[in-house]
Structure 1
Amino acid sequence: MNVLLYGLVVMIWGTTWIAIVMQQGTVAITVSIFWRFLLAALAMLALLTLTRRLRQISLRDHLFCLLQGCCVFSFNFVCFYQAASFISSGLESVIFSMAVLFNAFNSLLFFRQRPHPNLLPAALLGIGGVIALFWHDLLATQLAPSLLYGIGLSALGTFGFSLGNMISTRHQRRGLETLSTNTYAMFYGALIMAIISLGRGDNFAPELTTRYLGALVYLAIFGSVIAFGAYFTLVGRIGAGPAAYSTLLFPLVALAMSTLFEGYRWHSNAVIGLAMILLGNAVMFRPPGRVPGFNIFRRTRQDKAPRSG
């Protein structure tokens, strides 16, 4: 099951970056995010109501879902959507791979959860591979202000995503059902974007084109309902650190899409970076003293921490 969840997250989120680019245009960013998570939340609500899996939660838990909505389903995507105007979708996904480091740091900070024994060498390989993938573009632009701005926005959005991971971990340690908390958090995220859009006087009408609407449906159903459900379930099963390591595989999918749709050009350093990322994945999920295999996704001892508030 963990292998399936991991694969879903990598393949879907590896392709959502190009869908975000397809939504660039006349519609305000906050409005696009509003429609994305409103549709996702409504789809989740309908599904959970029909299957009788929607769980009621306390007011305190709703406040944490509101905070999760701020971190994962609203402001972080404002950063990602704006960054898409300055850097390619593939390179944006490369920066998102920093989530593996943010999650390791935040897990230690908030839960006193020690990182996976293989995290440091794997992260060094993975981040080194990310830098190799990005190096040619850094040299080509000579660190232009627009590039730095795009990098900063993507990094800020990634940090917000990591904080949302910590809130999801908190939910699951309290025994809350992932799909229910995701539904509430998506509603709150959509509400926040609606309030901001109203305050700005934005037009809520979506762009009635196949490109925009197709991207919206894909982002709402696949990128939000399916991928976020799979990812946060994975966080509960194997821990936030190992789950976030999937972000180091996103660039492989995202850069392939960027090659097809944005004319991204592969260079020798990109091939080296790709090899380093793959090697980092092998190191990350290799149990100490054991032969790599599908049992690499079993929960590690430090992930089996007692539940706490």
Structure 2
Amino acid sequence: MSNAIPDHALLRPRVVIPFLLTGIIWGSTWWVITDQIDGIAPSWSVAIRFAVATPAMFLVARLMGKNLRIGSKGHWLALLIGITQFCGNFNFVYRSELHLTSGIVAVMFTMLIVFNAFLGWLLLGQRITRNFMIGTCVAMSGIALLLWHEAGLNPLGGSIPLGIVWALLGILSASIANVVQANDTGRALPMVSLLAWAMLYGTIADFALAYVTAGPLELPVRASFWFGIAWLALAGSVVTFPLHYTMVREIGAGRAAYNGIVTVIVAMLLSTIFENYRWNGLTVSGAILAVIGLVIALRARQLPSKQTA
């Protein structure tokens, strides 16, 4: 008996609205981050972001009437999600944008589904299909073309290989959080309550990491920085993470990850407008291959899994 979700289920307003909203908001956050790392250590920028987002997430949980008592297993899970998602992932992402344009980092993050599939196979025994591997190869070839073009321009004057490493570490951290939150303990807890505690633990880790790596905090005075913090903390974190993880629970991680396509379109558009990203035959081909490969891979993940001995 198949547990496949019918395609028309995606057309329900309760799915379409958060699907588009998270894709659009996250698409904008990639560009906003570029201003957040201008004149301030990336780790402090991340710490400030979640220092604002954490109390807001607890407030949301209370307003929704959710129980904030998650038990010892819930706190251990929240700690792991906090360290991987709200500390490791964002610290790596912010550092990657010191060396790569925001649109390119967003394109690389579409490969989160590949990391999710591998960890799902490794930790949960989920099957990886042949079509998924084909789609992955197609998408990676497209991303390789985009990075090749990026290396030729090197517009930020940084290290392209280092930017790639930071981005890959960020993807791995986010993938760990994606996979572990779907275990039995996570599914038994209210999403916003779990996320609130995870953000708190992540914020504590962010401040410790920032102090150790960058020294005492000097608060920026630029208005654009604080407007950016408000957008990233409230819209890019408090609004989107509960919507996204709820979608994951309702329609599955594969279907929910389709919003990565919306995210990439918005991110690349903003990178073109504000970062003077240059399009040519190579970059257009790379973007098309990346999206086609992602769609092939995601559709393959929807095939019914087989139980193996």
TM over 0.5: yes
Q: How many residues align?
A: 292
> What does residue range 82-161 of structure 1 map to in structure 2 within 5 Å?
82-115=95-128, 119-140=132-153, 146-161=159-174
Give, as a single letter, the amino acid of the residue that structure 1 aligns with 2:39.
Answer: T
Q: 1:185-217, CA deviations, whole angstroms, 9 ceiling, x for partnerless residues? A: 011111111223344573334312221011111
Task: Assess if the C-alpha contact under 8 Å between 2:74 and 2:185 holds in 1.
Answer: no
Structure 1 gap ranges (5+): 289-298
Q: Secondary structure at the match of 1:176?
A: coil
Gap change, CA 1:269 and 1:54, over 3 Å in 2: farther
Q: After the TM superposition, which of the residue ranges 153-162 and 76-85 deviates more from structure 2?
A: 76-85
Gap change, CA 1:281 and 1:4, over 3 Å in 2: farther
Aligned to 1:179: 192
Shift of 1:132: 3.1
Q: 2:58 aligns with which of 37, 41, 45?
A: 45
Give the Cα separation in 1 of the matches to 2:265 and 2:220. 30
Shift of 1:33: 1.1
Q: 1:103-148, CA deviations, whole angstroms, 9 ceiling, x for partnerless residues? A: 010111111122477533433333333233333223445xx98110
Shift of 1:92: 1.4
Give the Cα separation in 2 of the matches to 1:137 and 1:116. 31
Give the Cα separation in 2 of the matches to 1:181 and 1:109. 24
Give, as a single letter, the amino acid of the residue that structure 2 aligns with 1:79.
Answer: F
Shift of 1:149: 0.6
Aligned to 2:86: 73
Aligned to 2:5: none
Give the Cα separation in 1 of the matches to 2:67 and 2:46. 24
Q: 1:133-182, CA deviations, whole angstroms, 9 ceiling, x for partnerless residues? A: 333223445xx981101111111111001001012112666411211111
Q: Secondary structure at the match of 1:114?
A: coil
Give the Cα separation in 2 of the matches to 1:201 and 1:12. 29
Shift of 1:35: 1.4
Task: Assess if the C-alpha contact under 8 Å between 1:66 and 1:188 holds in 2.
Answer: yes
Q: After the TM superposition, which of the residue ranges 195-204 and 78-87 deviates more from structure 2?
A: 195-204
Q: 1:170 aligns with which of 183, 187, 191?
A: 183
Give the Cα separation in 2 of the matches to 1:125 and 1:201. 39
Q: 2:37 aligns with which of 17, 21, 24?
A: 24
Give the Cα separation in 1 of the matches to 2:263 and 2:68. 32
Task: Assess if the C-alpha contact under 8 Å between 1:116 and 1:242 holds in 2.
Answer: no
Give, as a single letter, the amino acid of the residue that structure 2 aligns with 1:94.
Answer: V
Task: Assess if the C-alpha contact under 8 Å between 1:28 and 1:202 holds in 2.
Answer: no
Gap change, CA 1:246 and 1:51, over 3 Å in 2: closer
Q: Secondary structure at the match of 2:121?
A: helix
> What does residue range 146-295 of structure 1 map to in structure 2 within 5 Å?
146-170=159-183, 174-199=187-212, 202-280=215-293, 282-284=295-297
Gap change, CA 1:249 and 1:50, over 3 Å in 2: closer
Gap change, CA 1:300 and 1:205, over 3 Å in 2: farther
Shift of 1:286: 5.2
Q: Secondary structure at the match of 2:183?
A: helix
Structure 1 runs, 4 residues or longer, greater than 6 Å off: none
Gap change, CA 1:4 and 1:284, over 3 Å in 2: farther
Give the Cα separation in 2 of the matches to 1:216 and 1:173. 28
Gap change, CA 1:5 and 1:193, over 3 Å in 2: same
1:64 matched to 2:77? The reply is: yes
Q: After the TM superposition, which of the residue ranges 34-43 and 52-61 deviates more from structure 2?
A: 52-61
Give the Cα separation in 2 of the matches to 1:100 and 1:81. 20
Structure 2 gap ranges (5+): 1-13
Task: Assess if the C-alpha contact under 8 Å between 2:79 and 2:201 holds in 1.
Answer: yes
Give, as a single letter, the amino acid of the residue that structure 1 aligns with 2:272.
Answer: T
Q: After the TM superposition, which of the residue ranges 17-26 and 144-153 deviates more from structure 2?
A: 144-153
Give the Cα separation in 1 of the matches to 2:141 and 2:21. 25
Two-structure CA RMSD over aligned residues (Å): 2.7
Give the Cα separation in 1 of the matches to 2:207 and 2:67. 24
Task: Assess if the C-alpha contact under 8 Å between 1:20 and 1:81 holds in 2.
Answer: yes
